[in-house]
Structure 1
Amino acid sequence: MVVLAALTAFGGLVAVLAGAYGLRQTRRISAAGAVAQALVKAAPPGAERPTLQFETGEGRVVEVVSPVPPTRRRPLASGDLVHLAYDTEDPRETVLLGGERTGLDRAFVGAGLALVVLGAVLVAFAL
């Protein structure tokens, strides 16, 4: 029983860390990243998400897969222009301004905390 409780708490801790890292990256790139206008290109065959093409401040053209899931209320259409923030050190790390997905990261943190508490309760009852 104690092993099960420890595994539950460990799984919760991993989820908390994953969610916190995602939130931190989104905040960091949104706040300190460079802003660019990107062209939405059609999704490649077999892919669900379109690609975004933009030019960095140094003049380098970068093409990345859209960070926005296709289940968004208004999906991105080919030919649209969107604003994004990108990490100047690694332009492949992007955040679509106005389309941040912090809800999923917060759900990971919440579910992870619930699992950590459940693991602690199981350990308390086992001992």
Structure 2
Amino acid sequence: MLVLAVLTALGGLVAFLAGGYGLHRTRRLEESVQSVDALVKPPQPGADRPRMQFGTADGQVVEIASPVRRTRRRPLRDGSELRIAYDADDPREIVLLSRDRVRVDQAFMVAGAALVVLGAVLVVRAV
């Protein structure tokens, strides 16, 4: 029982930290980088993610794989444009400017915190 309690708490801690890291990364990119519209292009053969093409502030054209798959609730359509933020130092580092990612990261943090509390309660009861 004690091992299960400790594993529950550790799993919750990992989920909490993953959500916190995701929130930090998203907020850092949204606040300190350039934002542009990116063109959605078809994926390369054998790939499951569409390509995104955009121009940087210094005139460079960048084409990279999308950070999300087409199987989202709102599918990415070829030829459509999405608002993204990119890191001026490394334009391959992008974030879609939507609230979906923030909600996922927040959910990871809430679930992780709940698992840490559950694990702590189980540890106290097992000892």
Aligned AA (2:112): G
Deviations 1:60-97 (A, max 9, x none): 22222222342334322111122211112222221222
Matched, 1:50 2:75: no
Higher mean C-alpha displacement, 104-113 vs 54-63? 54-63
Partner of 2:15: 15
What is the CA-CA distance between 1:99 and the residue it aligns to?
Answer: 5.7
Tell me what 1:82 maps to: 82
CA contact (8 A) 1:68 1:101 kept: no
> Which whole-Å CA distance do the structure 1 matches of 2:36 and 2:84 have between them?
6
Please state how far the C-alpha of 1:37 moved relative to its aligned partner. 2.1
Q: Is the 8 A contact 2:33 2:85 kept in 1?
A: yes
Q: How many angstroms apart in 1 are the aligned matches of 2:105 and 2:63? A: 24
Name the TM-score, length of structure 2 as normaliser.
0.87
Larger mean CA deviation between 67-76 and 8-17 belongs to 67-76
Number of positions where the alignment pairs a residue of Structure 1 with one of Structure 2: 127
TM (norm. structure 1) is: 0.87
Question: How big is the alpha-carbon RMSD for the aligned residues of Structure 1 and Structure 2?
Answer: 1.7
Partner of 1:92: 92
Shift of 1:14: 0.7
1:13-57: CA deviations, max 9, x gaps? 011000011111111111111112211110222322211111222
Other-structure match for 2:60:
60
Question: Residues 85 and 95 of structure 1 are in contact (CA less than 8 Å); yes or no, is this contact kept in structure 2?
Answer: yes
Mapped partners of 1:63, 1:98: distance in 2 = 20
* Whole-angstrom CA distance in 1 between matches of 2:86 and 2:80: 18
Structure 1 residue aligned with 2:106: 106
> Which ranges of structure 1 fall in alignment gaps of 5 or more residues?
none
Provide the identity percentage: 58
In structure 2, C-alpha distance between the alignment counterparts of 1:62 and 1:68, rounded to whole Å: 17
